[in-house]
Amino acid sequence: MTVRERRGWIIVGAIFVTMFFIWGAINSGAVFFVPVLKQFGWSRAKLSVALSMGWITGGAAGPFIGWIADRVDPKKMMVIGATITGLLFLALSRATTFGEFLLINGMFGICVGASTSIPISLLIANWFEHRRGLAMGIAFSGSTLGGAVMTIQNGVENEAALCTVLPRESVMGGNARVGAELTAPGKLLHTASGIIEFGELDGSETPRAQRMAEAFKRAGVFGQFTRDLKSVRWKKLMGNNGTNTVSALARCTLGEMFADPESDALVLRLINETAMVGRAEGAKISDEDVEALYNVARNFSNASAIKTSTLQDLERGKRLEYDAISGAVVRAARRHGLSVPATETVHALLKLLDAHRG
């Protein structure tokens, strides 16, 4: 290794640390979300606008930052940008009005861009003739140090998909049990439940999982750590495969679905097929679990108002999530040689419906 290459890797290490501190601070905003709401009495939508402003200004200012980077030493840009970013954090601690929050967060986007992504790319390109991609990858990974990628989407195959492009140790699993409907831009109608179950893929209780639980608590989110993510995931899929599929095909609410004896029986059959496949996959699902989930779903006090997410997507002309729900059950059933005729039927119908939606 030449002296220049050695110095180049030292610079990569310094950039890695810089990215860790700057982006770690920027991404910690969610922790203060609820305390800020309580302090100022703003709506969640209003505060979200302020917190999102940095992404807007950062993107808009990108060409201008690039123009400056062509004329100024990238190292100087990083030092000046990082210094101003630190001063902005001090200013944010003294902000008392929404306008000040909006202005400071907007400046964050510009200064972070000027101190990280654009000058860093130029700096590494100047130092490395070979292995530039590796150097950039290591440098930018500092922004995710100590973090994790967690999906709370429906289905049981999400974590495996993430692990094909990310290191397995950086992936966590989550499970959302929330009934909600987007009634207008920025407006949600909360119809049922409200908890996020999460955990490590290997079932261990790690320091980062503990930090995640603490962050959920501070942010006012009901989070519950689990050591058995697979069972939690499949139990959620039991409900999704039973209700999302039928509600989308029949365009009905939970209440309408369970009020009809034939559709009620179909839901229970779909739940049982999912439970059978889940057990074959290693999930711990008892007959009591099946009965409890079925009874909870059909006895919601406001069942007549609850629309499943798949039905909501259908009504809005969006792509349907059938493949992550019924498709996942069908694929797992075939791996184990199990028969799931009801699930295969609704899966085929949903596939046709999705192809001809709108």
Count up the domains in the chain and report the number: 2
**pLDDT at 30 (0 to 100):** 65
**pLDDT at 358 (0 to 100):** 56
**Is there a single domain that holds both residue 132 and residue 216?**
no
**Is there a single domain that holds both residue 141 and residue 258?**
no
**Is there a single domain that holds both residue 117 and residue 194?**
no
**Is there a single domain that holds both residue 250 and residue 293?**
yes
**pLDDT at 165 (0 to 100):** 80
Q: Compute the 3-state secondary structure of the chain and give helix, strand, coil in percent, each to the nearest 5.
A: 70, 10, 20
Q: Domain range spanning residue 28?
A: 3-145
Of 145, 171, 191, which residue sits at a domain end?
145
**pLDDT at 231 (0 to 100):** 93
**Is there a single domain that holds both residue 218 and residue 340?**
yes
**Is there a single domain that holds both residue 17 and residue 65?**
yes
The series of mean pLDDT values per 10 residues for the chain, 358 residues long, is 79 83 72 80 85 87 89 86 88 90 90 84 82 82 73 87 84 84 77 81 86 78 86 93 95 94 96 97 95 90 86 90 94 97 97 85
**pLDDT at 23 (0 to 100):** 75
**Is there a single domain that holds both residue 114 and residue 242?**
no
**pLDDT at 193 (0 to 100):** 67
Q: pTM above the 0.85 mark?
A: no
pLDDT in tens, 122-131: 888 888 878 8
